């Protein structure tokens, strides 16, 4: 009862109806964060939302909030699925938001559904009224329904729609271009997911959200439009930093003429790119949708109330850059690695990745894998193990082998407690199947040296997880 009352009070206070010369007070990130559970209509699993589910969700929102949403028209995908274009609001500033042009990048699609419901729930709220009276939102929540159906990046033609802005070979790309040309929006929001294994600067943590004021030419010329999207990026950073401290970065990219974001800016619709990354832990997908909701609702409110003009666009350059290949699911540090092929053990760190629903432009992993061996001081492990004093040894483990079974196999060969030389000889005898290098998917045994010079099995990395480890 007390929690329910607190939540109702928080929702009441999310947008205080205190009007000044400039209108209602702008919402803060933490207050929007608290508002999201009541506004949520998105599914638990964003990757489970397909074309049919989206259409049902939009029909439900239209029924709940008559007059809020106008379906202006529909495009058609390569396989004939309808692509709705929605209009909300009637203001002089047009904003085009498109999501899921890559079919396996659905986080913002869910957040857009929640954003629409949030506005529909609060028709008398001064902030919502201001937003809808000063902006016209043009929303394409799922540009690539054929790719979404397969959970793949490309459309049914195997075209990356985000690289089709010049040739316009895809019907989805032609639709997006036609919408832009017809409605001439002042600002664009290009909404994506990115590889979750990026780091916010060289010393930061895993990136939950990356931002980019998308350039319109190779010189990265700063124009009034790109200055606006730089301010939008700073506004988003300020909204979400209290919620995701150190998890926001600047997307590092070159100008790409055939990419839609770059083309939009070049065509006269300066565009903000928002890329959703990772936030490892329970309810990761939910937290990322919630963070997107905060970013979208808060930055649109700032665009509507004019407060964006006071944001210092120079702060954009202080947002840390994405660091690629700088996080891993697991890093085991400072081991002596007997990598196979009869080589003598050497000092090394090991990094591992786990399969997930999204891997960016890389092929999606089918099983956990060792990704790198060597000095990995630059890599942040979402889980880390200090392997100082341990001997690490690759050992192929058939799929389905658990830790008790692996221990039993090793004990049957007298390799659970023995001389180091015996372990190294056993690994050498396994040949190329027991070579610990990038792409290796077997187990890595962890041995500790006893005072008497023998080694005993003290754990393993099995399918990208540390199992059975016995700390000193």
Residue 145 · residue 155 · CB < 8 Å: no
Domain ranges for the chain: 2-323, 327-467
Our CA dihedral for 261, 292, 320, 318, rounded to 10 degrees, sits at 80
The fold of 2-323 is: Aminopeptidase (3.40.630)
* SS3 of residue 194 by DSSP: coil
Tell me the β-bridge partners of 446. Answer: 392, 459
User: Cα–Cα distance between 422 and 121 in angstroms, integer?
Assistant: 69
β-strands 248-250, 209-213 pairing:
parallel
User: Of 134, 446, 138, nearest to 305 (Cα)?
Assistant: 134
User: Cα–Cα distance between 247 and 114 in angstroms, integer?
Assistant: 22
Digit-by-digit pLDDT tens for the chain (472 residues) are 334 434 443 444 444 444 444 578 789 999 999 999 999 999 999 999 999 999 999 999 999 999 999 999 999 999 999 999 999 999 999 999 999 999 999 999 999 999 999 999 999 999 999 999 999 999 999 999 999 999 999 999 999 999 999 999 999 999 999 999 999 999 999 999 999 999 999 888 999 999 999 999 999 999 999 999 999 999 999 999 999 999 999 998 889 999 999 999 999 999 999 999 999 999 999 999 999 999 999 999 999 999 999 999 999 999 999 998 889 999 999 999 999 888 999 999 999 999 988 777 777 788 899 999 999 999 999 999 999 999 999 999 888 899 999 999 999 999 999 999 999 999 999 999 999 999 999 999 999 998 888 999 999 999 999 999 978 7
User: Cα–Cα distance between 114 and 49 in angstroms, integer?
Assistant: 13
User: Of 196, 192, 35, nearest to 108 (Cα)?
Assistant: 192
User: Cα–Cα distance between 83 and 146 in angstroms, integer?
Assistant: 10
CATH superfamily ID and name for 327-467? Urease, subunit C, domain 1 (2.30.40.10)
pTM of the model: 0.90
Q: Is 453 left (phi over 0), alpha (psi -120 to 50) or beta?
A: left
User: Of 246, 412, 249, nearest to 316 (Cα)?
Assistant: 249
Quickly list H helices, 212-255: 224-240
Tell me the β-bridge partners of 187. Answer: 95
């Amino acid at each position: 009862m007390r929690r329910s009352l607190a939540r109702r009070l928080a929702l009441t206070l999310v947008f205080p109806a205190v009007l000044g010369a400039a209108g209602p007070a702008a919402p803060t990130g933490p207050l929007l964060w608290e508002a999201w559970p009541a506004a949520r209509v998105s599914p638990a699993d964003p990757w489970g939302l397909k074309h049919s589910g989206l259409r049902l969700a939009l029909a439900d929102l239209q029924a709940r909030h008559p007059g809020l949403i106008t379906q202006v028209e529909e495009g058609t995908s390569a396989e004939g699925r309808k692509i709705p274009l929605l209009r909300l609001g009637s203001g002089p500033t047009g904003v085009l938001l498109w999501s899921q042009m890559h079919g396996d990048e659905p986080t913002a699609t869910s957040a857009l559904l929640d954003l629409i419901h949030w506005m529909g729930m609060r028709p008398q709220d001064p902030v919502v009224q201001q937003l809808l009276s000063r902006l016209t939102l043009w929303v394409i929540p799922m540009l690539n329904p054929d790719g979404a159906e397969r959970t793949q990046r490309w459309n049914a033609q195997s075209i990356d729609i985000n690289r089709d802005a010049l040739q316009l070979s895809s019907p989805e790309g032609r639709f997006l271009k036609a919408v832009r040309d017809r409605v001439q929006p002042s600002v664009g929001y290009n909404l994506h997911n990115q590889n979750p294994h990026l780091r916010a600067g060289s010393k930061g943590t895993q990136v939950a959200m990356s931002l980019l004021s998308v350039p319109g030419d190779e010189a990265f010329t700063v124009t009034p439009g790109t200055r606006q999207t730089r301010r939008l990026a700073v506004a988003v950073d300020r909204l979400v930093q209290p919620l995701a401290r150190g998890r926001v970065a600047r997307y590092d990219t070159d100008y790409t003429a055939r990419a839609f974001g770059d083309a939009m800016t070049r065509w006269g619709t300066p565009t903000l790119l928002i890329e959703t990354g990772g936030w490892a832990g329970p309810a990761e997908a939910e937290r990322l949708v919630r963070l997107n909701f905060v970013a979208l609702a808060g930055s649109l409110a700032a665009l509507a109330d004019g407060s964006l003009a006071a944001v210092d666009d120079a702060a954009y350059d202080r947002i840390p850059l994405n660091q690629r290949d700088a996080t891993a699911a697991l890093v085991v540090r400072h081991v002596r690695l007997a990598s196979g092929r009869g080589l003598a053990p050497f000092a090394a760190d090991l990094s591992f990745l786990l399969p997930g629903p999204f891997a960016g432009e890389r092929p999606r992993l089918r099983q956990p894998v060792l990704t790198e061996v060597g000095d990995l001081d630059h890599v942040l492990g979402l889980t880390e193990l200090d392997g100082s004093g341990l001997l690490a040894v690759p050992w192929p483990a058939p799929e389905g082998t658990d830790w008790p079974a692996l221990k039993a196999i090793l004990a049957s060969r007298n390799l659970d407690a023995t001389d180091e030389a015996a372990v190294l000889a056993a690994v050498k005898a396994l040949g190329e199947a027991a070579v610990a290098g990038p792409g290796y998917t077997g187990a890595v045994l962890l041995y500790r040296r006893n005072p008497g010079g023998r080694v005993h099995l003290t754990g393993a990395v099995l399918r990208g997880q540390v199992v059975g480890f016995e700390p000193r």
